[in-house]
Amino acid sequence: MSSKSSFFSRVNTSSPRSLALFLSVWFALFVGFFVGVLEYTLHKIHTFWVPVIVVGLTFLLAFFLFQYSVERFIYRKIKLIYKNIHQLKLKKGQLPPSVDLSADIISEVNKDVEAWAKDQKEEIEYLKNLENYRREFLGNVSHELKTPIFNIQGYIMTLLEGGLEDDKINRTYLERAEKSVERMVNIVEDLEIITRFESGQLILHKEKFDIVELARDIMTGMQYSAELNGVKLVFKDDYDKPVYVKADREAIQKVLSNLVINSIKYSKSHGETKISFYDMDEYILIEVSDNGIGIAQEHIPRLFERFYRVDRSRSREIGGTGLGLSIVKHIIEAHNQTINVRSTVGIGTTFGFTLAKGK
């Protein structure tokens, strides 16, 4: 029972030619048997050549008729399927290039349909994620801009309602309004930088320079801010010799500055920010580490997203546009390099990125 059913199953999933051959053989044998019986009944004789000729001719005729009929039937059905899943415009009577009627047509179509369904599912998921990202991004932009706008509005209204004549508050409110405007300008400029990176409009000017010297300049410039926050800026080792990389010096300065600023902001009191350099054959690995508050693991996958903040209330207090790490990631990727982060809550955080070695 099972062998019979598996046999017919193999026949049903075979090519049109195999199916036509199968049907033609049985039909020809049936006709030949009928002719043989009829000849014996009418003439009381039995010869083999008449049934054999009938079987041969019947087989040839039946084979071509069955093959044509099966292929036309399958063509009509397959054509309807491919109208829905295929993007290629076909001529009348033409099947997609991937369909071979001499092969296992059912399996081929099944594979194409499964591949189409998989692509559709992936595309739907991608569009859903894109829509969620767009919605979240627009919400974040409006939220980030709303705060300084409302602040400016409040300061101006206070000044217009009489505060402008009050020497005790007019200058203070104007200075606060200026800070809010500056915050808005910084957000817009950072968004513009990211957009230019994503659209490929920002061209990198790569040159050979000493990354240790650049890091030392950055640390010197941020020494005062670090001391105010009780943070010590140090190198891991004594880098007496220069470490040359080939990159856009201005862009990498922005990367290191952002990472050091973040490290200072989120460090513990009497903490330490350390910069390290490692030789990796054709690349230099640069790491900025701290022993600060650390980042929970659930936040790390989204850390480089625009406006993503681990602790929104703390981030508001210490300032920033929320775009720094996103810019960092875009700059490093524009250099065809990678950036990663390792962090443990209560222990600290390490950002590491690679640059091509200067030659």
Pick from 199, 218, 236: which residue ends a domain? 199
Q: How confident is the model at residue 47 (pLDDT cuts 50, 70, 90)?
A: low
More confident residue, 10 or 40: 40
Same domain assignment for residues 180 and 315: no
Residue 110 within a domain: no
Query: What's the pTM value of the predicted model, to 2 decimals?
Result: 0.57
Q: How confident is the model at residue 175 (pLDDT cuts 50, 70, 90)?
A: confident
Same domain assignment for residues 150 and 169: yes
Residue 138 within a domain: yes
Q: For the chain, give the percent of residues with pLDDT over 70.
A: 67
Structure tokens at 201: 């409009």
Determine contact, residues 155/174, Cβ cutoff 8 Å: yes
Beta carbons within 8 Å of 342's beta carbon, 6+ residues apart: 349, 350, 352
Q: Give residue 168's pLDDT.
A: 78
Return the exposure string of 323-355: e unless at least 16 CB atoms fall within 10 Å of the residue's CB, then b. bbbbbbbbbbebbebebebebeeeebbbbbbbb
Same domain assignment for residues 29 and 59: yes
Return the exposure string of 51-65: e unless at least 16 CB atoms fall within 10 Å of the residue's CB, then b. beebbeebbeebbee
Residue 108 within a domain: no
Q: Give residue 326's pLDDT.
A: 86
User: Would the pLDDT of 39 be above 70?
Assistant: no
More confident residue, 318 or 60: 60
Q: Give residue 43's pLDDT.
A: 64
Q: Give residue 7's pLDDT.
A: 43
Residue 28 within a domain: yes
CA distance 270 to 261: 16
Q: How confident is the model at residue 8 (pLDDT cuts 50, 70, 90)?
A: very low
Cα–Cα distances in angstroms (integers) from residue 210 to residues 170, 332, 357, in the given order = 48, 17, 10
CATH code where residue 223 lies: 3.30.565.10
Residue 111 within a domain: no
Same domain assignment for residues 299 and 242: yes
User: Would the pLDDT of 3 be above 50?
Assistant: no
Same domain assignment for residues 221 and 344: yes
Q: Please tell me the least confidently modeled range out of 39-48, 63-72, 214-223, 260-269.
A: 39-48
Q: Give residue 312's pLDDT.
A: 54
User: Would the pLDDT of 54 be above 60?
Assistant: yes
CA distance 19 to 11: 6
Q: Collect contacts of 323-326 with beta carbons under 8 A, ≥24 apart.
A: 323/187, 323/190, 323/191, 323/194, 324/190, 324/258, 324/261, 324/262, 325/258, 325/262, 326/194
| Per-chain mean pLDDT for the chain | 76
Same domain assignment for residues 177 and 224: no
Same domain assignment for residues 231 and 195: no
Q: How confident is the model at residue 144 (pLDDT cuts 50, 70, 90)?
A: confident
User: End-to-end distance of the chain based on CA atoms, in angstroms?
Assistant: 75
Domain that holds residue 12: 2-103
Same domain assignment for residues 32 and 131: no
Same domain assignment for residues 219 and 347: yes
CA distance 46 to 211: 102
> What's the burial of 155, exposed, middle or buried (CB within 10 Å: 0-12/13-18/19+)?
buried
Same domain assignment for residues 323 and 234: yes
More confident residue, 101 or 144: 144
Pick from 165, 180, 199: which residue ends a domain? 199
Residue 224 within a domain: yes
Residue 285 within a domain: yes
Same domain assignment for residues 231 and 144: no
Q: Give residue 320's pLDDT.
A: 57
Pick from 143, 175, 199: which residue ends a domain? 199
Task: Report the domain count for the chain.
Answer: 3
Q: Give residue 10's pLDDT.
A: 46
Same domain assignment for residues 229 and 295: yes
CA distance 285 to 236: 13
More confident residue, 291 or 127: 291
Q: How confident is the model at residue 46 (pLDDT cuts 50, 70, 90)?
A: low
pLDDT digits (tens, 9 = 90+) for 191-229: 887 777 777 777 889 999 999 999 999 999 999 888 888
Q: Give residue 197's pLDDT.
A: 76
Tracing tokens 């076909």 back to the chain, one arrives at 90
Residue 128 within a domain: yes
